[in-house]
Every structure is written in C-alpha cells, then in structure tokens.
Amino acid sequence: MLRVADQQISLWDVVLPPEMMRLPDELARIDAYLDDERFVISWRGMFDTRLGRPSVPVDTLLRLLYLKHRYQFGYETLCREVADSITWRRFCRIPLEARVPHPTTLVKLVGRAGPEVFDQLNRELVGKLAADRLLRAGKLRIDSTVVEADIDHPTDADLLDHGIRKLGRLVRRIKATGAASRTAFRDRSRAAGRRIKQISRTLRRRTGQALGEIDRLTSEIADIATHTVTEVDAVTRNARRMLARRPSRRLYRLVTDLENTIAGTRRLLDQTAQRLAGNRIIPDRMVSLADPDARPIRKGKPQHPTQFGYTTLLVEDDRGFIPFHQVNKGNPSDARQLIPAVENVITASGRTPATVVADRGFGTAANDKALAELGVRHIGLQRNGTLSKTRREHERTRSFRRMRNWRIGVEARISHLKRGFGLRRTRMRRHEGARTWIGLGIFAYNLQRMTVISR
C-alpha cells in the first residue's frame, strides 16, 4: 500500500532542544526541495492506494537513497548510520522511537522500481530545476564514459569454470526439491578447479611455452563444460516434467535460472572454440555469466585499454547540472547520440542552448548541420581525420579554441561523478540494474549541485 509520508508527531519533537532539531544547510535545502508532489508521481504505479502492507514512506525512501549515493554507503551501512544519527533521522523523517527500514526492504523497493521510475525522477528534478531557473542550459558540453560492471577481469577458462560451478549448484538445489532425483549428474567443479590452478602456476613461468600450455588446459575445461551441459540438459527436461505435474514457484525459478545458465555456458563454449581456433576478434563477446549484458569496451586509454561494463553519455550544462544521461550496452557511435541528447535537453529546459561542444567522436558535418537547424549558434565539434584548409583554419580561430578548452572541463565532472557519486562501478547487474544505479547517482548529484547553485 502506498504511503507518501509519515504524519505522526513524535514526543521527541517537543522534548528535544531547538539546536538538535535544526538540519545542516545542505540537508535543509534538499529536504525542502524534495517536498514536491512531482517526486511522488513516479511511485504511485508501484503500490495500491488501499490494499497491502504499508510501504516505506516515499519521502523517507528518497532521502535514504540520496544519502546512500551521496556518501557511497552500502544498504547495511546506510541503515546503521541513519539509525545512529539524530540529524539524519530528522532528514529522513524517521522518528527517534521508530525503526529504520531494513536493508533488504530498501533493496527490494529499488529493484521493484526499476530504471523507469528513476528516469522519471530525474526528468521531474530537471523540470523543477528549469522551472526555478537554476538550470539554464545555455551551454552544453557532452562526452561519454565507461561505468564498469561489478565483475572480475574475464578469461575463457575462468568463465567456463564459473559456468560449471553454477550449473552444479543449481542441479543440487533442483534435486533437493525432489525433481529429477534419479537423473544422473556428475559435478565436475573440482576437475575444472584443478585446471584453473594449473593455469595460475603456468602463468608464473612467463615462458614461450606457457601460452600453448594455457590453451591446452582451457581446451580441457571446455571439454568438462561440454559434458556438464549434456547431463544438465537431461536434468532440465525431467525437472520440467515434474513442474508440469506439480507446479512450484521455487522450482520454476530454479529451472528458469538453469536454462539461462545453460544458454550462457553454450555461448561461452562457442567463444572459447573460436579463440582456440585463432580468432581473437569476437563481436558482442560475453564477459560474465552473472552480468551477461556487460561488454568489453575500448576507449583508447593507455592505462585502461579495455574496460568491461556500459557506456554512459553525459550532458553537462554551464552550471554543472547533468540534464540528460543515457546508458548503453557496448560502445555505440557517439555521433549518433548527439542530436537526440541535445533535443532532450531542449525539451526539458524549454530553451535552445547557444553553445554545444564535444570531442572528436561527435564531430561530423551532419551533426554540425543538425545543430545549426536546431538554432545552436556556436558549435564546437572537432573533426577526425585529415582536415580541409577551411576546416583547419576554423578550428584554429580564437572562439573555437575557447570552446575546445571549455569542453575539457567535462572530464573533471566525469571524474567527480565517479569518485563522489558511485559512477566508477555499478553495483547492480545487467543493463536495467546499471541504468538504475547510474540514475540514482545522477539524481543525488543534481540535488547536491542544486544546494551549491542556490546559495
């Protein structure tokens, strides 16, 4: 059941001295800013207005999530710190005699909300900032960055070993429910683990023969995974028969997870076979069973030649707000995302920016023309490749160089978001989880930025 706010008055509100009732300036500004009906609209579709157990009040949930991403807490740490602080309790509107929501409750609420709710929250916040004339969007600088997935550096052998172990765990759980109890299955996790240890010892030798030895051991792990998948197919078929006779929600979840893991392991086997055959370039390569939407991304950085995660487009205005962001699988072309991003900002702010700047990945003649048609007067998109004499002279003008120098500042903003608001690595899996995590980080950042601009 939807609960917007907790209207109960606590005895402590009367007993405590005024000094303890006062919030710090940043929290007081945010508390007042979140007292707007528009931030509740996106949550109404999640709950019935009359039936069910009362939810955590929406105003409490929003403030808890702000603190979580502002200070990069885990859910357990967040609940412990809020419970231990009178100031944070007052900010989150949790009376002193009341319990702080349990961490698992917050996890379930965020997961149930999904990225659409937080995308709408960000749109409502940007709309309110524009209405209050805090967001001006007179100048925009645009760039993309990689938000890493919460996975280890992937190798074919490690990924197959993970698949073998996960298949074994799921089969044991299915058999524990009484399904496929007589179907033969041999857990080969230990055999795969021994070969992983041999690979680790081989890598320490750093000799020319090491690569051949690693390929041989990887091939053996692939054979083990192939035998495992063959046996697990039979377990799946028999578990499905049991499910048809005796429906069970738990068994259904286990069988569905098992089928998805089989499909992922087969895909890993195909990748490994291609790599052992000498093909080192595999499009749309899978790098994790736990997060199958994550992709290897090359941005040309010497210290991080390949990163594994999601590409995020960020648009920053001249006051430091992020009026638009977009999370993508893989590494799509930057140039194609430029015009939709600018149009989105125009819709949100109600005005056309006078200046738009971005790096060479966004620079095309078509984008220059499209921005001019939108009404952008100053376009600072550098071009790739060999420049014509006219273009070279244009990029050497003082006005263009000033726009180029201002654009570089977006790198500092990206660094700030990664260090201060959790955009270095998403702790939620799959594309939807990454969108949720990044959306919450941007929401917390724009709120904190509002307190700076409105002083």
| Rounded average pLDDT per 10-residue block, the chain, 455 residues | 58 63 89 90 75 80 95 95 92 88 93 92 94 93 95 92 96 93 93 93 72 89 96 94 91 95 96 90 88 89 86 95 95 94 94 94 93 94 89 92 94 95 94 96 96 89
Locate the domains of the chain by residue range: 12-112, 134-151+293-453, 156-276
**In this predicted structure, what is the pLDDT of residue 211?**
78
Top CATH class, 134-151+293-453? alpha beta
Count of CB atoms within 10 A of residue 18's CB?
Answer: 6
**Looking at the DSSP assignment, which residues form a beta bridge with residue 327?**
312
For position 272, what pLDDT does the model report? 94
State how far the Cα of 382 lies from the Cα of 360, in Å rounded to an integer: 5
> Rounded to whole angstroms, how far apart are CA atoms 129 and 350?
12
Name the maximum alpha-carbon separation found in the chain: 79
Choose among 306, 310, 301, 259: nearest CA to 435.
310
pLDDT at 54: 73
Q: Six-digit token pair at 312?
A: 């995020």
DSSP state of 140: E
What's the pLDDT at 401?
94
